[in-house]
């Protein structure tokens, strides 16, 4: 279980990843549980049903490799042949800048992970190609699950000739993360979400396809949230009309 406390607009909030189930927390305005496996009814909590892809690390490394699609394996080999280098736990500030640029291009919400969190509680894998960072994934490790919580890529703002290379670099990041998790005795790699919405979403469906190529299993995942104080409940009502983000 990974816990992160922060202050946002005067509100004290707590985010918890990889708890088996939600529970009440004292002394805060709001709590949010991500990547819960248990589906349950909790008084006062709102539940959002989600999905994710999980790679079971009980197999040996050769079996894990064979579960990858042929396109995924060839992309990883190509990245290695092209000299892509994967670094672990370095260039955190550059990765967070890349993430902000990536989310802006994609039209996604601003992410508020502070630098201290990525360094102290995360495990950062980045890909370097021709001396430039072209992608990265931030993972959380609770001793059982290696969970990808933040990913960013430079694929959208490079010339056409490099886009395939950046995609292959991203495949190599995930494969190196799988190897790392296996070597360190973890039980599974959670790829951090899988789109199950009813509305067509080409962007999300493209991400789904990328993740499926790693041979994992789509499973249910749940998010639980509870706002404890009247002031944050009122702030969320205002949030519907004003452009700011509460956790």
The structure tokens listed for 189 are 């790699």
Summarised one tens digit per residue, pLDDT across range 118-163 is: 999 999 999 999 899 999 999 999 999 999 999 988 865 555 667 7
| E strand spans, the chain | 2-8, 11-17, 30-36, 46-56, 85-88, 122-129, 132-141, 145-153, 188-190, 217-227
DSSP 25: -
Q: Is the pLDDT of residue 17 over 90?
A: yes
List the domains of the chain with CATH numbers.
Answer: 2-49+223-239 (no CATH), 53-221 (3.40.630.30)
Separation of alpha carbons 127 and 133, rounded Å: 6
pLDDT, mean of residues 183-210:
92
Q: If pLDDT is split at 50, 70 and 90, which confidence band does 75 have?
A: very high
What pLDDT sits at residue 198? Answer: 81
Please measure the distance between the N-terminal and C-terminal CA atoms of the chain and give it in whole angstroms: 18
Please provide the DSSP assignment of 163-231 as one string: HHHHHHHHHHHHHHHHHHHHHTT-SEEE-S-----SS--HHHHHHHHHHHTTT-EEEEEEEEEEE-SHH
What distances in angstroms separate CA 160 from CA 12, 163, 166, one per listed residue? 44, 5, 10
The structure tokens listed for 209 are 């396809």
Secondary structure (3-state) at 66: helix
Q: Is the pLDDT of residue 241 over 90?
A: no
What pLDDT sits at residue 200? Answer: 84
Separation of alpha carbons 222 and 49, rounded Å: 5
What pLDDT sits at residue 154? Answer: 82
Give the pairing of strands 122-129 and 85-88.
antiparallel
Sign of CA dihedral 148, 245, 227, 240: negative
The pTM of this model reads 0.89
CB 192 within 8 A of CB 1: no
Q: Is the pLDDT of residue 104 over 80?
A: no
Summarised one tens digit per residue, pLDDT across range 20-64 is: 999 999 999 999 999 999 999 999 999 999 999 999 999 999 999
Q: If pLDDT is split at 50, 70 and 90, which confidence band does 234 have?
A: confident
What distances in angstroms separate CA 115 from CA 16, 93, 109, 247, one per listed residue? 18, 7, 18, 17
Q: Tell me what percent of the residues of the chain surpass a pLDDT of 70.
A: 91
The structure tokens listed for 38 are 């248990």
pLDDT, mean of residues 204-231:
94
User: ∠231-239-149 over CA atoms, to 5°?
Assistant: 100
């Amino acid at each position: 279980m990974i816990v992160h406390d922060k202050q946002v607009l005067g509100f004290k909030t707590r985010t918890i990843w990889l708890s088996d189930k939600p529970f009440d927390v004292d002394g805060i305005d709001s709590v949010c549980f991500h990547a819960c496996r248990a589906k349950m009814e909790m008084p006062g909590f709102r539940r959002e049903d989600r999905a994710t892809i999980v790679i079971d690390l009980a197999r040996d490394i050769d079996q894990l490799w064979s579960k990858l699609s042929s396109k995924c394996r060839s992309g990883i080999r190509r990245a290695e042949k092209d000299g892509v280098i994967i670094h672990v736990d370095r260039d955190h500030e550059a990765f967070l800048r890349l993430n902000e640029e990536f989310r802006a291009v994609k039209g996604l919400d601003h992410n508020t992970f502070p630098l201290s969190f990525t360094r102290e509680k995360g495990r950062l894998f980045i890909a370097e190609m021709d001396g430039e960072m072209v992608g990265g994934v931030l993972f959380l490790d609770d001793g059982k699950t290696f969970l990808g919580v933040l990913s960013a890529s430079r694929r959208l703002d490079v010339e056409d000739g490099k886009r395939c290379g950046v995609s292959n670099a991203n495949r190599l990041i995930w494969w190196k993360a799988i190897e790392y998790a296996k070597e360190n005795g973890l039980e599974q790699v959670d790829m951090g979400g899988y789109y199950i919405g009813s509305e067509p979403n080409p962007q999300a469906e493209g991400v789904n396809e990328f993740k499926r190529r790693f041979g994992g299993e789509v499973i249910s995942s749940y998010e639980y949230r509870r706002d404890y104080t009247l002031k944050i409940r009122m702030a969320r009502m205002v949030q519907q009309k004003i452009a700011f983000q509460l956790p």
